[in-house]
Amino acid sequence: MTGQRRLSQAISEGDGISLIAPAVDANAASAAERGGAEGVVVQANLPGVRDATGLPILWRLDAQPAEALGAGADALLLPAAALEEDAEHVERRWREAHDIGLECVVEVRDADELELALERLDPEIFLLAPEEASDADDPLESVLDLLPDIPAGKLAIADVEVTTPDEIAELERAGVDAVIVASHNLAGLVRAAPPEV
């Protein structure tokens, strides 16, 4: 069943914005599913995480696609910044991931990385993860500034700290498809999401 849970499908189906929760272990992945998340993101190879949840798993660590797939991932994160350093390596990893059935999510931090990602990879899913350069730069505003440059039909996941239903609603109104939220915030944010019709 590995590789069969489509992250793109999970975050584009239904009404409203999807919530994705980080998982630090198998129990956290299971709790995220019970709590209403529509995906989990892992930053380490976590034994048992695939068996603990039926949600799509976004693999957010530097690994070969086959290694990610073998560990239960459904989607692989590729940083657009790496395109500047070694575009051939990133493109090769992109092809390998697609060839074995993994979806690829491309992380962009600014407009230049977004442009480069579109030019070299043309991904279907973007992870908008702006750097906090200074106190004056609001990460939420940075995501909202990047969003208009995402072509129609592509999916956008926001990786910004959100703690209130108002912030979730602002991202949803702007057209963000999903947001990564800390698991301890999940319950309140899921209940605050607009009801499905």
Residue 30 DSSP SS3: helix
DSSP run (H or E) holding 169: helix 165-174
Q: Tell me the average pLDDT across 169-197.
A: 77
Provide the domain limits for residue 173: 7-192
What pLDDT, in 10s, does the model give residues 98-141?
A: 999 999 999 999 999 999 999 999 999 999 998 765 555 788 99
Residue 15 lies in a domain: yes
Domain total in the chain: 1
pLDDT band at residue 5, thresholds of 50, 70 and 90?
confident
20 located within any domain: yes
Alpha helices by DSSP H, listed for 78-134, are: 81-99, 111-120
123-to-92, 166, 190 alpha-carbon distances in Å: 14, 29, 28
Q: pLDDT averaged over the chain?
A: 89
Q: Which residues of 158-175 are buried (b: 16+ CB within 10 A; e: fewer)?
A: bbbebeeeebbbbbbebe
Query: Would you state the pLDDT for residue 187?
Result: 74
Q: What is the pLDDT of residue 116?
A: 97
pLDDT number for residue 189: 81
Does residue 181 fall inside a structural domain? yes
Say yes or no to pLDDT of 193 above 60. Answer: no
d(CA 46, CA 103): 19
Q: What is the largest CA-CA distance in the chain?
A: 46
Residue with the two structure tokens 């605050």: 192
Q: For residue 140, give the CATH number of its domain.
A: 3.20.20.70
**What is the predicted pLDDT for the residue at 1?**
36
Q: Return all residues near 37 (Cβ < 8 A) that are at least 6 apart.
A: 19, 20, 21, 55, 183, 186, 190
pLDDT in tens, 54-71: 999 999 998 899 999 999
Q: Is residue 30 part of a domain?
A: yes
Residue 2 located in a structural domain = no
Residue linked to tokens 């797939």: 69
Is 151 part of a structural domain of the chain? yes
Cα 1-153-91 angle, rounded to 5 deg: 65
